[in-house]
Every structure is written in structure tokens, then in C-alpha cells.
Amino acid sequence: MHKILIIDDKHAILESLDMFFTEKGYQVFTADSGATGMALLDRHDPDVVILDIRLPDTHGISLLKHIQALEKPCKVIMITAFQDMETTIQAMKLGAYDYIHKPLDVDKIERAVDRALYTLKIDRETPQAAEMTQPPNPEVIIGKSDRMRNIFKTIGLLSQNRAPVLIQGETGTGKELIARVIHRNSLFAMEPFITFDCSAVVETLLESELFGHEKGAFTGATQSKAGKIELAGNGTLFLDEIGELPLIMQRKFLGFLQRNEYDRVGGKHPLTSRCRIIAATNRNLAEMVNNGMFRQDLFFRLKVVMIHVPLLVDRLTDIPDLVGHFLQKINWELGTDIFSLEKGVLDRLTAHTWPGNVRELENVLVEAVVRARGKVILVDEIENILLSNYPITTTRLTTYSLPHMEKEHIRTTLDRLDWNRSETARVLGISQPTLRKKIRKYGIVPSVR
């Protein structure tokens, strides 16, 4: 039987909560002062304390501090009549599980108590994670799926030369990370890695940002300045969002690629550079070429080596490793130690479609860690975060038959999980024999990429 201790100086509140929770099957203790509360706390070791902020003999916050300092602190739900920002923040900072305002809504309190007990249970079942002594390496690309492995191979091949690389992939798939790792593994890793965001700069400034300018080259050029190409030296120049480069700049940049030579704006002597070019885009450059929005000759120059970064939804098998990696990183950065996942969290994450790809996954985990009020990330919490990120659910009317949709759903899930049948069966919630039967029935085969 779970034990609840209620500390409040209003007898009406003590009585009604006592009645309510006793009826629900809890063992309830009540105290109308801080001192009585402390005594009951020592004697009965409750699971949850419902604690009023204003008490006749002490402040709820000091009691909260006392509880948090215990060897095995219970969960504390604070209640107060005051909408006081400072105290709310302080209470949450000190580790209160929840903070509820009066007038009291018993359902709300019951929900908070339920959740607190649940968290407590999981906390107690979860072993304490080992302390980290150094930050995780920010420049590793996590992934064991075939498509990521192929990218690793390509990076290996690129390490011995300066061939230009074009990285294509949707937002948040890891294009910049891949560019950095290519550089870090090259023979010139000790040289600079310079980023140039083609979409961030005002068009008129693009040229001088990229190529640099001489003093007096244009109004406001009071000083000569090196461009990004010059800064990259013998290292790597990363051109982000290359699809946004205006046509006129495309022509000038192509000139540089063809001759390894360029002029600062207003410069009299051409400069040379041997920097490696890595370009990235989330646009379909081939299509832009067809539409006359991107120069074909530049496209061919850039895509000597092309890397397609898959959507996260096309490498769901990487999610567990990514989650582990991000938890290390996040906990290190936030100074927290939340490493455990409630059973079901990975399934929930694997069921999501991830339009924002790996970056979205990382952001969801940051929020989950920040919101966690135990040592464990709960399925509920993940569910809430995902729901609040996608408030509008669109239902599309389709004219497909049910068997057709079943077939398609099974096929895409198989593809996404690299045809790992046991994983697929688990995600779909069916047995492996059933999955095999359906594969045969519908004649499903791996799709060609």
C-alpha cells in the first residue's frame, strides 16, 4: 500500500484529501504544521508528500530541501494559493515533482500522485548510471545501417585526396557533421575547416565574403579583407546550402574551381587556393539544373563524389544507438544523469516519422531530459513532447483497400528496418510467423533503392 503524507495548515484541505486518498486505497497521514510533518516523515517513510508552501511554523521550501537531502527522497508535490513565480521556479529547481495551485482540483492531484508513484517505482528499479568523466566526441557519426556504413566507406576513400564532395540530404540528416568528419579524417585535418553559408549572406556581399576584397574596392571597404576561400587555406571550405548560390556567383565560383585561382574584389593579382570543397544542400540540384536554376557545369564539378544522406525514417535501426549517443552528450552538457528509458520509449521513437530527422530526435531528447523528474525518461513524456510538436493531425482520405494498405505498411517497415524480420514483427506488433505468412501472401520483396 502506498503511503501519502499531507502537510497543510488548513484542516478542511487535510480532511478532504485524507478522505479522497483513503478511499482510493492509500495509507494517508496528515500534519497541520512543519514540525508534525517532519515527525511523520521520519516515522512512516511515505512515498509521496503533498506539501503546502505556507505553514505556520516553517516554509514549505525548507521542508522540501530537507526531504531532498534524504538518502532515498520521496516525491514531493507542492501546493500553494499563491501564483508566485519565484517560489514555483525554486521548488522545481530543488527537485519538487510537481507544483499545483489552489483551489485544489483533486483529479489533478490524483494524476500528479499517480505519476509521481510511477516515476518513483521506475527510479527505484533502475540502477544508477556510471558517472561520465569526459565529454563524448562531438565528431562521430552514429549509425550501423547499411546506408550509413556506405557513407563511412566513402569518407575513408576521401581521406587520401582532395576531391570535391557534394552532400545531399534533407534538413537535420547530418550533412554538416559528415563534412566535418571528412575533414577530420583527411591528410590536412590540421588545416582550417571554414564554413560558408550561401543562404545567410546578402547577395551583394557574397562575392567579397567568399573571395575577399581590397581596401577601397567598394564604398565601405575601408580595409582589405580575406575571403573564406583564403581563410580555408590548405584545409576545407564547406559551402552550406549551395543551392541558394545566385547564378552569377555560380559562374564566378566555377571559374575558381576550374583554375584554382580567384581575385579578391578590387584585387589586381589573382590568388591561388588548394582547399577542398565540400558542398551541401537539401535541394535536388539535378532538378534545379533541369529548371535552369543551377549551372550544369558547376553541378558536375561539385559532384565528383556525391553522398546521399538518408532520412532518419529510412534508418530506424540506428535510433537506439543515436539515443544512447545523444543522452551522453545532453547529460554532459546539462550536468544531469538521466540515462534510462522506460520500456516502450524506443518503440515510440521508432514509430515517429521524423520530418526533422536526426536534429529533431536530438531536440526531443533534450526536452525529455529537461522535463524528466526522475532518473528515467517515460513513454508518456515522449508522447507529450511529440504531440506538442505536432498539434495538427491531418487525416487524409484514401481510396486504397485495407489489404493494399497493409501490404504497403509492411513493405515500408521492412525496408526501413533493413529487412530485419524479428525487429519488423516487433514494431508491427505481430508474430514472426504471421509476418512471414503476410510477406508470402502479398509477395513483398525488398524495394530497390
Ligand X SMILES: Nc1ncnc2c1ncn2[C@@H]1O[C@H](COP(=O)(O)OP(=O)(O)OP(=O)(O)O)[C@@H](O)[C@H]1O
- Residues contributing to the site for ligand X (CB under 6 A): 141-143, 169, 171-177, 282, 322, 325, 358-359, 362
Kindly tell me which of 164 and 174 has the beta carbon lying closer to ligand X.
174
Report DSSP letters for 117-138, one per residue: HHHHHHHHHSPPPPPP-SPPPT
Kindly tell me which of 79 and 179 has the beta carbon lying closer to Mg ion.
179
Which does residue 177 bind out of Mg ion, ligand X, none, counting CB within 5 to 8 angstroms by kind? ligand X
- As beta bridge partners, residue 50 has 6, 77
Closest separation between CB of residue 170 and Mg ion, Å?
Answer: 11
Contact yes or no for 176/346 (Cβ under 8 A): no
- Closest C-alpha to 435, from 420, 447, 421, 423: 421
Which does residue 141 bind out of Mg ion, ligand X, none, counting CB within 5 to 8 angstroms by kind? ligand X
Q: Dihedral sign, CA of 20, 68, 90, 339?
A: negative
Using CB positions, name the residue nearest to ligand X.
Answer: 174
Alpha carbon distance, N-terminus to C-terminus of the chain: 57
Which residues, in sequence order, are CB contacts of 193 under 8 Å at separation 6+? 179, 180, 183, 232, 235, 236, 238
Kindly tell me which of 175 and 352 has the beta carbon lying closer to ligand X.
175
* Calpha distance 63→96 (Å, rounded): 11
Closest separation between CB of residue 30 and ligand X, Å?
Answer: 50
Kindly tell me which of 141 and 379 has the beta carbon lying closer to ligand X.
141
Q: If binding is defined by CB under 5 A, does position 176 make contact with Mg ion?
A: yes
Which does residue 282 bind out of ligand X, Mg ion, none, counting CB within 5 to 8 angstroms by kind? ligand X
Q: If binding is defined by CB under 5 A, does position 241 make contact with Mg ion?
A: no
Which does residue 174 bind out of Mg ion, ligand X, none, counting CB within 5 to 8 angstroms by kind? ligand X
Closest separation between CB of residue 366 and Mg ion, Å?
Answer: 18
- Closest C-alpha to 278, from 355, 160, 164: 164
- Closest C-alpha to 47, from 127, 117, 100, 118: 117
**Which H or E run includes 271?**
strand 271-272
Interacting span for Mg ion (CB under 5 A) from 15-23, 175-183, 295-303, 339-347: 175-183
Closest separation between CB of residue 176 and ligand X, Å?
Answer: 4
Contact yes or no for 163/304 (Cβ under 8 A): yes
Kindly tell me which of 176 and 406 has the beta carbon lying closer to ligand X.
176
SS3 51: strand
Closest separation between CB of residue 164 and ligand X, Å?
Answer: 18
Closest separation between CB of residue 183 and ligand X, Å?
Answer: 13
Which chain residues interact with Mg ion by CB under 5 A?
A: 176
